[in-house]
Structure 1
Amino acid sequence: MLFRSDDNLFVETKAFCSKAQELWIYSPFIRVNKIKEILVDPSKCKAIVVRWQTMDLLVGVTDFENLYEFCKDNDIALFRNTRIHLKVIRNEKNHIYYGSANFTNMGMGVNGNIELSGINIDINMQDIDYLNEILSDSVLVEKDYFNALKIDIDEKKRDFKKIEKIKDKDIVSVVNNKFLLDSLPQSDSPSQLWEICRSNYDPIKYSENEIICAKHDIISYVGNNKFINTSKEKFLQMLGSGFNSTPFVHELKFQVRTQANYTMGYTQITKWIAKTTLSVPTPSRQDIRDKSWVNRLHNWIPALDSHNFRSEKRHKSDGGRGGTNLLYYIGKDDGNEYKDLEDLIGGLRINGKGGKSPHQFILLATINELVKNNEKDFSIDEIEAEFSRQWRNAGKLNKISKQNFAMPLNALKGKLIEFNYLNNNETIQDYRKESELKEKVKTITISNSLFALFKEQKITGDEILEYY
């Protein structure tokens, strides 16, 4: 029996899926709303293979982020295969539903395309092997792969109106390169790169390795030697344009902006690189430290984006347990509102042990209580008094910690709170010392985004502490 559009096609497709215990879906184009209609129980679906050619995603003929999130939420393995054109559902008995219809509104909706489908329950091992080979030749879309693909598509969207036809490229070899360590700078700093280039790669003045690194950076970020007769200022502009548009660098800068205090430390960046890079074999954090990737980024990012970023070396005498580089976002940050409490908690600073300190949660509960008076500015004494009360209420959260309101104030400084100093030239040397805060800071101002979240959603202190 055949299934016809505007007749029995959708009903029979849904019936095939409902009767199955396990399902594998192959389709070039997929809309999540249609899949949800067809799959009464999404947990039955073990895998989805979608085409996701570059042009498909730019034009929007298939769902992208929504499909990825749907598969993630329902524990469905999502695969990408840019060659598929077949539309197939396979069940645990190796019965096959197949036809011309994509899993979209046009494919299976009312007044859509004219389509035809059917079911075959008599397939042989060659047929099964054929479907298995398609699956094995497809790319599993995991988090890092999806993020790399999304950046690639977002870049192309900016120029999409100028593009007549885009050749689909092998995303494994092209997009992945953007998250390889090789896409990061290898020269110590932009200034050193300028000096090496100006010397015409002088082998007497510079080592062989320094020259190799310089040529790598020129190829990666400038692409030609047209800068030879330009000024240093013009050279750095050209270099910055290429460097700042590199997806790896762009994503790192975004991560700094998402932190509650607009700051990432050396260890945080090292962990992030180890987790994000698609280099094979995956480097350990020690490998990243040994090869000074993070040190160079601290030299390059502020030098080529000084309006938005700065780097600071905090020594042990400045309050740290040891020397560490801190990368700060110092630019404007519009549209930084929080959707809900979970969104806020997700951006809290990670401590040296890889977790989040109870002090931050207790300080947030403190601020939540204080803003009930519809005020955004508070003295250090007001903060200390309410923090002590919230600390006592927190119970088991703080049984192995020492009460200290200075540490979380430092952690939230930047995006969530602002220090108003008694003397504009003051700086805090040891953020762990409550006494120094009292001496140098007049008041604390709560950010508009945090104030709005606590006022509009009427969050309780207990709700905040539950997230710890």
Structure 2
Amino acid sequence: MTILSNIGEQMNNLYYSEKDNFFNKIKDYISNSNRELIIISPYIQINALDNLLSNCKAKVTIITTWKLRDIQLGTSELELYNYCKEKNIFLYLNQRVHLKTFINDYSSCLFGSANITFKGLALVENYNYELITKVEKLNIDSILYFKQILNESVLVNNEVYEMYKEKINELEDLPDTEEPNLIDIESRSKFLISALPMSWDIDELFQLYSSGFKTESKEKINCAIHDIVLYQIPLNLNYNDFKELLNERFFISPFVIKLLDFIDGEPRYFGRVKEWIQNNCEDVPVPSRRDLTGNIQVLYNWIVDLSNGKYQVDRPNYSERIYRVR
């Protein structure tokens, strides 16, 4: 898979540590991000991050790594979790991450060698030699790559934070043994809003998928890519194979299984389903019920379409109701 096919065109736009006001180049890029900013960096120091985000208006998602030795050395900081909670930032862990990048709404990115530390951003005298460049337009392969990293990452919650804190407190000396993997893909939460589909219509999803995600609607592209990555659908399937695999993987999702158990008990109105999802999702911060409206409408469409008549939606009063056909 080609990650950044136009990288060669960017080589004349390299920025070097202190020489090119490295920190301000990154901060200006962040300040011009209005919708969604994804930050991927193995090492993050809170004060350096706070300086970068001081003018940020976008919704921020961070993917980093926590390793016990790094935490002991201070190159990673556990209290980053509490900082992110306070700032309504989503914090994820991925122990395979080594790249450093800032992604603006999955349309462009800055990438390079610098971690978000005072040395990495040339904010101290003894700074690291680093460089960055900007890619003005990400192609589909690049977006899929970044989405896959996010999909394989683990959202940090209180339980994860306390587990790391306990492990650090147990250590007296820096360990010489192989770094333990406390978080892996199998242990991540299955009850996140990001574990639910986003595309409004499955047939339209297939059309985007089969056309190489070509449409004028950036929102539809983002939703389609999310769903293809979420359900791990390989490229170039025909319609029947596509829908069969999507059906199989949708209905084995733990979130969907648990929701259908709730629905199977009795018909559920829209407000009750919204309440159930809010009470059962493990997002930090928890989304508001108003924010969940679109997610539930999409869920209704997918459940009805993929269940082959097993579930239906009607509107006996003012609110939609989903139920299992007996």
Under a length normalisation based on structure 2, what TM-score does the superposition of the two structures give? 0.50
Query: Structure with the greater relative contact order (CA < 8 A, sep ≥ 6): 1 or 2?
Result: 2
Under a length normalisation based on structure 1, what TM-score does the superposition of the two structures give? 0.35
Larger Rg: 1
